[in-house]
Amino acid sequence: MKKDEFPVIPPERADDLHNLEMAETADLVLFMAGNQFMAMDEIVGSFQAVHPDVKNIFYETLPPGLELKQILARGARFRDRLLTVYPDIYSSVSEKSMRILADLGHIEENAFQLYLHNRLTLMVPQGNPAAVRSVHDLGRDGIRISQPDPENEDIAIHIIDMYLQAGGPELVQRIMNEKRARGTTLLTEVHHRQTPRRLLAGEVDVGPVWATEAEHARSLGLPLEDVAPGADFDQRHRINYYICQLTGGRNRENGRRFLEFIRSGRAGEIYRKYGFLPHE
């Protein structure tokens, strides 16, 4: 990516830029894989309870693919602003992202940790009116899908693997190309915000999401439910969350302390409450 080519954060995504007013002066900057959004207020609050001197924390809960583009470009455009903040900490569900950062000198070689696990599920409106019963049903003509975009959303990598396991290249071609051309596969930019909204508005029939997002929707009392793909397809043994400290971050000591906290028993308790599985 050229230095003058900045990724664009969708203008409606202010809810994924936390404490934006202090972005450039924060005591700690976190780019956290966005699907952790429901847990991050508690994670940050608990970290500050242990380290009260870290008063100002700016954190993002955008898709990690988009956050990676921000890191590589050293900035992003948001509304009428060029946001040039560089993170102390970055997390992703893609080991490839960590390798890219290492290859380009943003982190030391192998300086990343595995800290969480998750799995996939199929979110549908309450009552499942389109009768989605399995991954194979997403290939049906009448089924409208809210599909994360592989360009920005790392979850899409795991979803496509799920399609491959369930129906081979034919199902991938059907969902990602044929149905997209027909307008029945709708790509997302920030799936954890867009997919529930589309389902509630009746714009789609199903959306592959993290199981933790379905659990969060239930906790809010939203008229949504999910169809479990089953252990053979939900990628539970393949979905790993990685976290690293960037060598160019301004707040090195606070970044180190956050990495220490994120692997602590207290952080694990919080993540379990929201349906994640901390790495043992």
Give how many domains the chain has, as a whole number. 2
**Paired strand residues for 41:** none
Residues 111 and 177 in one domain: no
3 state SS of 16? helix
Q: Tell whether 204 and 268 lie within a shared domain.
A: no
pLDDT band for 3, please (50, 70, 90 cuts).
Answer: very low
What pLDDT digit, counting tens, does each position of 40-97 carry?
999 999 999 999 999 999 999 999 999 999 999 999 999 999 999 999 999 999 999 9
Using the 8-state DSSP alphabet, how is residue 193 labeled? H
Residue 213's domain is classified under what CATH number?
3.40.190.10
Which stretch of DSSP H or E encloses residue 244?
Answer: strand 240-245
Q: Are residues 80 and 160 in the same domain?
A: no
One domain, residues 29 and 111: yes
155 closest CA partner among 259, 271, 40, 241: 241
Query: For residue 235, is it within any domain?
Result: no
- Asked whether residue 110 falls in the same domain as residue 125, the answer is no
Q: What is the pLDDT of residues 126-168, one digit of tens each?
A: 999 999 999 999 999 999 999 999 988 889 999 999 999 999 9
Distances (CA, A) of 150 to 141, 154, 167: 22, 6, 19
Distant-in-sequence, close-in-space partners of 280: CB < 8 Å, separation ≥ 6: none
